[in-house]
Amino acid sequence: MRINKTPLEGFLTIEPDYFHDQRGFFLETYQENRYINAGIKDKFVQDNQSHSKKGVLRGLHFQVNRPQAQLVTVLQGHVFDVGVDLRPNSKTFGKWHGVELNSGKKNQVYLAPGFAHGFCVLSDTADLHYKVSLKYDASDEGGLLWNDPDLNIDWKINKNEIIVSEKDKNLPTFNEIINPF
């Protein structure tokens, strides 16, 4: 397993070892001790999965008072995965970073607590799996507008092709939120 730093502390890319032969492949998507030894010490308590078609953009979401760590894996397809640093004491507060995840590369993203998270589907469909360190709480959910002009995220797809939920279309911009972290 290889852990790669990104420009944002607390946002890591992970390349798990996998074994491939004529039958297919085998991959450990998570093994607690191996991730702890790599510096990811969060206890994951809930697994989530989504299935989306091309152009679907989910996010940018976060939990306000009880921020979650996330470990994100694409099971099928190809997405552009983004984290926005919402930690006010961080050197990269207000910055975003994105990485392409795809089932062919079998790469993952780790986001420490305090990031807003979102992704956009670049393939015909994508199945995304993510582990979180705290249970989802609908009363604690927050979000940022996906096309916030101050963040200026390049979602790697034509903006006319992006499909966003009504809820996500009405999220505040980064400058409109009072930072909860």
Q: Which residues are catalytic?
A: 61, 130
- The CA angle 145-134-81, to the nearest 5 degrees, is 40
- The answer to whether residues 60 and 82 touch, using CB atoms and an 8 Å cutoff, is yes
SS3 assignment, position 96 = strand
Q: CB-side exposure of 111: number of CA atoms within 13 Å?
A: 30
The half-sphere exposure of 48 on its side-chain side, counting CA atoms within 13 A, is 13
Residue in the structure block whose two tokens are 């970073």: 97
Residue 67: enclosing H or E segment and its boundaries?
none
Strand ordering across the sheet containing 78-85: 96-102, 78-85, 115-121, 57-63, 141-143
Residue 21 amino acid letter: D
- φ/ψ region of 11 (left if φ > 0, alpha if ψ in -120 to 50, else beta) reads beta
